Amino acid sequence: MKVLVVGGGGREHAILTALARSPRKPELYCAPGNGGIAALATCVPIAAEDVQAIADYAATAGMDFVVVAPDMPLCLGLCDLLRARGIPAFGPSGAAARIEGSKVFAKELMLRYGIPTGASAVFTDMAQALAYVRTAPMPTVVKADGLAYGKGVVICQTREAAEAAVREMMEQGVFGESGRRILIEEFLTGPEVSVLAFTDGQTLAPMPSGMDHKRALDGDHGLNTGGMGVIAPNPCYPPELAAQCMESIFLPTLYAMAAEGCPFAGCLYVGLMLTPSGPKVIEYNCRFGDPEAQAVLPLLESDLLSILLHVSQGTLHQADVRFSGGASCCVVLASGGYPGAFAKGMPIQGTADAAAMDGVQVFHAGTALDASGALVTSGGRVLGVTAVRGTLQAAVDAAYAAADHISFAGMHLRRDIGARALAAQSC
């Protein structure tokens, strides 16, 4: 069976690593892939956003199944293009991907179907947005409607900051069309939980919950990043709360999407904030999180390929979805300067020593092979080092022990991934 994974980061490496374990022994391809993925799959140099070229390639190369991982091709309707050509695909339709692609769509959906979320107002007119900001309580949160590479959410402590964020999005167009329509949302507080779930639109099978660490520096300081590390499961999200969220959030979301005529099948990612007045949705994503997938998929004991096929066939209720009862920790090794400017092409040492440790996997995000075949850095987030152990403390210790084998010029990592979770007696 020929399986193509679309994307080229740590998440895709984690997906491919799980697919490679499948008893079905799939022949793996990845577009575009990266320096580490090349060891598992044939890398095809087509950008993930070039959806027409990917669909053409999948058809001519005779792919039996395509897994679309990143947000952009999903929102551009790659799964629709593939299905129109008779190629089974894992991922939501373009219409269903709006749950991530338009924050206004997601917010209106939640309001219409009584799904708990923060209060907000939508603006297409800048003067009205600025007038609103002048009387809104601070802090407040300004969000670009569309995809903005994870940078479209600005938490504003002061009116001046909020006005500047509104102007940047609506007047200066820093996020292009994505920011011409904005949402201004109430500031919520509480522990955050990321929940990823397989769903075929009817059945929903949640994966172990995660806690992301979005800021660049220890103690949650510095700029927001794509994520500097994840632990799973999240101790702030015990089974009773998970059961409550299933009833009040996940199943109503599936129902709502079906009722709106765009049933969601794929990986639904729900970002929750556990506020003093109960869990509220702060974001939906239409895909596996990155680095969440790098922490959660190593806990999967059953066959990922079989689960993804069941999702695409609408038979998830028949799938064997089993996770280990252990814990995992993924520590991201980034290029110095990330999420700002950073150098590329730095030789990387020590990945084999790290990966040789029991229960450790080294996922490649921004890596490439240079002309001599040596592994070098090629992105902001370079590697994700994941350790699976029986307890969270052991997983954190092992992930750092493995990360300490690896080095490259300018390497930056947070030293406190999991520290907050370990300190949390109760959340």
Report how far residue 162's alpha carbon sits from residue 235's, in angstroms, rounded to the nearest whole number.
33
- Considering only the stretches 30-38, 272-280, 282-290, 313-321, report the one whose residues sit in contact with ligand GLY under the rule CB under 6 A: 282-290
Tokens of 136: 């809104």
Does position 92 interact with ligand GLY (CB under 6 A)? The reply is no
Whether residue 263 contacts residue 253, with contact meaning beta carbons closer than 8 Å, is answered with no
To ligand AMP, the closest distance from the beta carbon of 260 in angstroms equals 21
Residue among 327, 183, 211 nearest 273 (CA): 211
Least CB distance from residue 379 to ligand AMP, whole Å?
A: 19
- CA 333, distance to chain mean position in Å, is 17
On the question of a cis peptide bond just before residue 32, with omega within 30 degrees of 0, the verdict is yes
Q: Looking at 32, 116, 118, 314, which residue binds ligand AMP (CB under 6 A)? A: 118
Output the smallest distance, CB 210 to ligand AMP, in A.
12
Would you say 351 and 425 are in contact if contact means Cβ atoms under 8 Å apart?
no
Strands across the sheet containing 211-212 = 211-212, 229-232, 327-334, 381-389, 360-364
Nearer residue to ligand GLY within complex by CB, 227 or 379? 227
Cβ–Cβ < 8 Å for 286, 198: no
* CB of residue 67 to ligand GLY, shortest distance in Å: 16
Using the contact rule CB under 6 A, the part of the chain among 196-204, 283-291, 378-386, 419-427 near ligand GLY is 283-291
> From ligand AMP, ligand GLY, none, which one binds at residue 188 (CB under 5 to 8 Å depending on kind)?
ligand AMP
Closest by CA position to 256, among listed 116, 90, 372, 81: 116
- Selected from 71, 80, 185, 303, the binder of ligand AMP by CB under 6 A is 185
CA distances from 129 to 122, 148, 342 (A): 8, 19, 35
Please report how close the Cβ of residue 183 comes to ligand GLY at its closest, in angstroms. Answer: 17
Q: Which of 187, 222, 350, 427 binds ligand AMP (CB under 6 A)?
A: 187
Q: Site residues for ligand AMP, window 199-218 (CB under 6 A)?
A: 214
Site size for ligand AMP, by CB under 6 A? Answer: 13
Contacting residues for 371 by C-beta, under 8 A, at least 6 apart: none
User: Any contact of residue 289 with ligand GLY (CB under 6 A)?
Assistant: yes
Q: Where do contacts with ligand GLY occur on this chain (CB under 6 A)?
A: 212, 226-227, 285, 289-290, 292
Contact residues for ligand AMP, defined by CB under 6 A: 118, 141, 150, 153, 155, 185, 187-188, 192, 214, 271, 282-283
